[in-house]
Amino acid sequence: MSLKVSHIDLSERKVLLRSFDVVVIILSVWLSSKFSIQDYITFGSDSVYMWLTLLIFYYFLFGEIFQLYDLNVSSNRFKVSRSLFLTAFITTLFFTFTPYFSPSLPEKRIQVIYLFLLMFGPVLLWRFIYMWVLFSPKYFKDIIVISHATRMGTMLDLIKERGFHNVICYISDEENKNYGQFFDVNNVDVYKLVKEKNAKEVILSTRGFSSNVISKLNNSIITLFEEGINIKSFESFYEEITDRVPKEYLDHHFYNNINLSSHSEKKIYQFYHRFIDIVVSSLGLLIFVPMIPLILLFNLIGNRGPIFYTQKRVGKKGKLFTIYKLRSMVVNAESQGAQYAQKNDKRITMFGKFLRNTRLDEAPQFFNILKGDMSLIGPRPERPEFVQDLEEKIPFYAIRHVVKPGLTGWAQVNYPYAGNLDEQEKKLRYDLFYIKEQSAYLDFKIIIKTMTTVLFFRGQ
């Protein structure tokens, strides 16, 4: 059995990044204070722990917003530099102007700049070391994939695309020379192979195999599981790395994979959800209403036509409601009938593009949320003309309507455009993931991703 440096799991990488960021920031501030480089945060003060706690809180909050802990971002020098610069700058700004909880502004304002540089410079150096040393295949998890040939290509392509895993070999009923070392499922001793290859995890899909093959696999898998080898179904692995349910869920086994009845039992969560809806929509309308005169002016210049428009949409339990939006397309944009919005849609006006990129076109929907037609978070409300067609062509599409539609949602922040049937099906799988995993933590992630979408102008 070959010796190999232990892998670093995905969750461990996120903990590692956060932990070392904190250590580097606190150490930098402490050293700079000790050697009198800055005296804004002094370690001799009784309030230093409160100051550091506030600083780290802001850093983590804006780090999430600017995707500093997205593992794909963390492997790219340019993206890390951009995200870290924005995080350090906004953190410094908020920390400086938080009365009572942060130190008084120093007489020399350059001390504030030092604080920014102490977060940006040392953390950037540590992040580059992470990319150079730890973002290496030798620290990826060694896995073996077992699947029928009809699914193997999809599985291996997905694993390769997402990274952080080394596929040592694959076990299937047919060989594909594009995917590395092959072992025939009918002849291989899975237990012996896993031990010889020192694999840390087995990704398994039994769909398509005969009952005899499945029985043989189960015997090996049980023994491996007892010895501490991590065994994952492809469906669980797929959800973990894509944040959407696999396509295979949309078949007659659907209700085995998604328990819809559990949502009716989450009374506390539902109360909290509605409370947040009322508070946020009320604040949203208070901010939006004073902006209307300015929006009217720009609408006259770059939109030319009515500022608002209404449409019928499908809500919870399939009930129709009227949605309110700021018009972002030319007048009579659907003179030839209803059609999906596309990326770089030519019907979108100059000012309408700005409204969509900043999500301002959605602001009137705060009124829909206050009324109870919509929620802050949920599947995107779709038009009845499209819903009827999609329910006929995509299995279980109507499941979206078990919850209220949302101003933002898991599908919207992960896969904003859906202009054809395949894309609609993929968005549905994001919606189903949200319905399946609904929680306060997932809601928080959606809000953070929505803020990222707005700040980086990724709106529709």
- Listed residues 134, 150, 179: the one ending a domain: 134
233 and 202 in a single domain? The answer is yes
97 and 165 in a single domain? The answer is no
Number of H helices, E strands in the chain: 17, 9
In a domain, 4, yes or no: no
192 and 126 in a single domain? The answer is no
Among 155-169, 197-211, 354-368, 387-401, where is mean pLDDT lowest?
155-169
Model-level pTM? 0.80
The tens digit of pLDDT for each residue in 65-76 reads: 998 998 888 888
283 and 415 in a single domain? The answer is yes
152 and 123 in a single domain? The answer is no
306 and 436 in a single domain? The answer is yes
| Containing structural domain, residue 400 | 261-455
305 and 443 in a single domain? The answer is yes
220 and 118 in a single domain? The answer is no
pLDDT at position 257 is 67
Among 170-174, 269-273, 313-317, 338-342, where is mean pLDDT lowest?
338-342
Question: 358 burial class (0-12, 13-18, 19+ CB within 10 angstroms)?
Answer: middle
Q: Containing H/E element for 144? A: strand 141-146
**Cα–Cα distance, 127 to 17 (Å, whole number):** 8
Percent of the chain, pLDDT > 90? Answer: 44
* Cα three-residue angle 333-339-344, rounded to 5 degrees: 70
In a domain, 251, yes or no: no
The tens digit of pLDDT for each residue in 369-410 reads: 999 999 999 999 999 988 988 998 988 898 899 899 999 999
In a domain, 215, yes or no: yes
The tens digit of pLDDT for each residue in 215-237 reads: 999 989 899 988 888 999 888 88
316 and 419 in a single domain? The answer is yes
The tens digit of pLDDT for each residue in 328-364 reads: 887 766 656 666 666 666 788 888 888 888 888 899 9
62 and 162 in a single domain? The answer is no
Out of 37-41, 89-93, 382-386, give the one with best mean pLDDT: 89-93
pLDDT at position 4 is 46
In a domain, 304, yes or no: yes
In a domain, 247, yes or no: no
In a domain, 253, yes or no: no
pLDDT at position 407 is 93
pLDDT at position 339 is 63
Whether residue 256 is predicted with pLDDT greater than 70 in this model: the reply is no
Among 21-35, 260-274, 346-360, where is mean pLDDT lowest?
260-274
In a domain, 248, yes or no: no
One-letter amino acid at 250 equals L
The pLDDT of 405-427, averaged and rounded, is: 86
Residue 165 pairs in a beta bridge with: 141
Quote the number of domains for the chain: 3
- Listed residues 177, 211, 242: the one ending a domain: 242
Whether residue 418 is predicted with pLDDT greater than 80 in this model: the reply is no
114 and 174 in a single domain? The answer is no
In a domain, 252, yes or no: no
- Listed residues 72, 107, 134: the one ending a domain: 134
- Of 21, 83, 95, 16, the C-alpha closest to 52 is 95
pLDDT at position 260 is 62
Do the Cβ atoms of 443 and 273 come closer than 8 Å?
A: yes
347 and 446 in a single domain? The answer is yes
